[in-house]
Homo-oligomer: A and B are copies of this chain.
Amino acid sequence: MAAETKKGGYTGKILRVNLSNSKVSVEQPEDHFYRTYFGGTALIAYYLLKEVAPGIDPLGPDNKLIFSSGVITGIPVGCSGRNGVGAKSPLTGGWGDGQAGGFWGAELKRAGWDAIIIEGKSENPVYIWINDDKVEIRDASKIWGKLTLDAERAIQEELGDKQVRVAQIGPAGEKLVRTAGICNDISHFYGRCGTGAVMGSKKLRAIAVRGHNAVPLADPDKVSEISKMLIEVAKVASKGMTDYGTSAGLGMLNAGGILPTKNFQEGQFDGFEDITGQKMAETILVNRGTCYHCPIRCKREVEVGPPYNVDPAYGGPEYETLASFGSLCGNNDLKSIAKCNQICGAYGLDTIEVGNSIAFAIECYERGLLTNSDTGGLELTWGNADAIMTLTEMIAKREGFGDVLAEGTKRAAEKIGKGAIQYAMQVKGQELPMHEPRGKVALGLGYAVSPTGGDHMHNIHDTMFAAEIPPMMAIRSLGVLEPLSVYDLSPAKVRMFKYFVDWRHFQNCGLICMFAPLGYQQVADLVGAVTGWNTSLFELLKVGERANALMRVFNYREGFRRADDAIPERLHSAFNSGPNKDKPIDHDEFNNALTTYYKMSGWDTEKAVPTAEKLAELGVDWAASEIK
């Protein structure tokens, strides 16, 4: 533990639960520790590097699963109710993390906890019950196997409190599906990297939390001022998100030729109008959900009658889900997408990865690499909604061909053989999210260097900066004043990329929603108002850069090198049509940009890992000893 400083400043507690011996302990790091590792990915990386040896089995007892909020989680301000989780990933074999909204993270903080370190492995199914500072490991035999909604209700009933908040895996996590996630409050997912399988491997079904204490605020008036401002700004700036959710811009992506379609073979989808947020609002939407204290309400709740039987309690599909099960699979049946979303919610699966896996399987089937004898008779053709729904449930249950895809696209491709790997749209073993780099090439660089591989949570969305950078736009506060083409990979673009990605990494430490209508400096002001620290945007960006550096070191230790910072070859080929026709990502340009990024980051260009000097500059010189 970091115990270098005197007590004072921010105080918080970290819960350690060992499921092998049922030992529960509490740690109280110093203010200095929180200021350095903050929360989320940086805090998780600190513990995983210090406590998890390289080479361990991600699904064995030596892996640790760490939940962590940020120092501002649970305050009465929109966009600050998120939480993070991390572990060695069973999908990539390297760094794994996920972030989720909802209410659970804030509840955990209101119970007095900044983080939970889960270690070891239980013999029998259990869940953890945290009621403020009381912590119990309880039997979960009766809920093991249940769908998530049923499990949550059973836990609330058993504890006699309907306000208990539950983070849990579903049956897919229990069955160690490598694309299984963890959910908060049923519909908010830590989707990526297979953290649900890690939780399942520990026989931990759920963590139920009830907290009764407000998070202390150093400057309540300032916090209140920022909260009110956020509410006002959101009324205008976030209106599209409120009305149509995260898929408000799906049509624009299609128009720009960057809507992932048919397993990234195309960038435009004929049936796109049937799967937009607007279409959803007109048809199946019954309510808008939200996260703790957030006025934006970007979450969807949808209802569909028989034969789909979609229950609004499972929320509704986000953009990532709409595209993964929609355009990516050539599927314009919105109700079937809502159903797939519900299956993934009920069984605890990541919609991005499952949609990808199915799109991959369809391409293999269409190209003759898979036949009915492989699929158990399922006709995996583009847009076959019934087959897509069926296969989703088969993956969740590891049934038949579903068991192959339950290993993730990369392992499935290796099993299928016949060159199928070229159709697995993944980086480091993790499937690409629904963002097409050929119309925003810095995103491709982002996939390559993300600690989790194909991931949009550590990444740039450079279309935002392509046209003009208006005077008050947040990126300007970092001195990035000039818009740059979405096709640009020059050093100037890499600079913008680096700054933005460092900020995104901070967001995953601060657990600030990426949709927060706040400038970067306003976030720094908020952190200062909550903690009393005389912090700055500089310090926060260094937190993000530190998190990224530590995750890099983790991956290096697991054997990842420069060659692993690569994107699927398909992205280096041009589309045949659409706005990005004849615009492949050039290999040499991409490779040069990679070198530039390493050098700008203070990373060794061969080892692709931070130099000892960079680690020292980030205040984590101890991590250099992890690089052999």
Interface residues of A (CB under 8 A from B): 4-5, 8-9, 32, 35-36, 471-474, 476-482, 491-492, 494-495, 498, 519-521, 524, 532-539, 541-543, 596, 599-600, 602, 611-614, 616-617, 619, 621
Contacts and interface: CB of A to CB of B under 8 A. Distances in A.
Contact of A613 (B477, B521, B600): B600
A329 to B, nearest CB: 41
Given A471-B9, A481-B32, A482-B32, A491 B616 contact: yes
Contact of A481 (B35, B520, B524): B35
B32 A471 contact: no
A616 to B, nearest CB: 3
Given A477-B538, A495-B619, A521-B534, 16 more contacts: A32-B481, A471-B532, A473-B534, A474-B534, A477-B539, A478-B536, A478-B538, A478-B539, A479-B542, A479-B543, A492-B619, A492-B621, A521-B535, A596-B613, A599-B611, A599-B614
A592 to B, nearest CB: 11
A538 B541 contact: yes
A551 B5 CA distance: 38
B538 A617 contact: no
B477 A535 contact: yes
Contacts of A472: 534
A599 B599 contact: no
- Main DSSP-derived SS at the A contact region: helix
Contacts of A519: 534
Contacts of A491: 612-613, 616-617, 621
A530 to B, nearest CB: 15
Identical copies of this chain, number: 2
Contact of A534 (B476, B494, B602): B476
A36 B536 CA distance: 20
A509 to B, nearest CB: 13
A616 B494 contact: yes
A471 B619 contact: no
A32 B483 CA distance: 12
A494 B599 CA distance: 19
B616 A538 contact: no
B481 A36 contact: yes
Contacts of A600: 602, 613-614, 616-617
Nearest to A595: B613
Contacts of A4: 482
B621 A539 contact: no
Nearest to A624: B491
A222 to B, nearest CB: 13
A354 B467 CA distance: 56
B5 A481 contact: yes
A5 B542 contact: no
A541 B617 CA distance: 15
A517 to B, nearest CB: 14
A613 B605 CA distance: 12
Contacts of A478: 536, 538-539, 542
Contact of A36 (B471, B479, B538, B602): B479
Contact of A539 (B473, B479, B543, B613): B479
Contacts of A533: 471, 476
A594 to B, nearest CB: 12
Nearest to A8: B471
23 contacts: A4-B482, A35-B479, A35-B481, A474-B534, A478-B542, A479-B539, A479-B542, A479-B619, A491-B612, A491-B613, A491-B617, A491-B621, A492-B616, A492-B621, A495-B616, A498-B617, A519-B534, A521-B534, A536-B536, A537-B537, A538-B538, A596-B616, A600-B602
Given A599-B611, A600-B602, A602-B600, A536 B495 contact: no
A590 to B, nearest CB: 16
A105 to B, nearest CB: 24
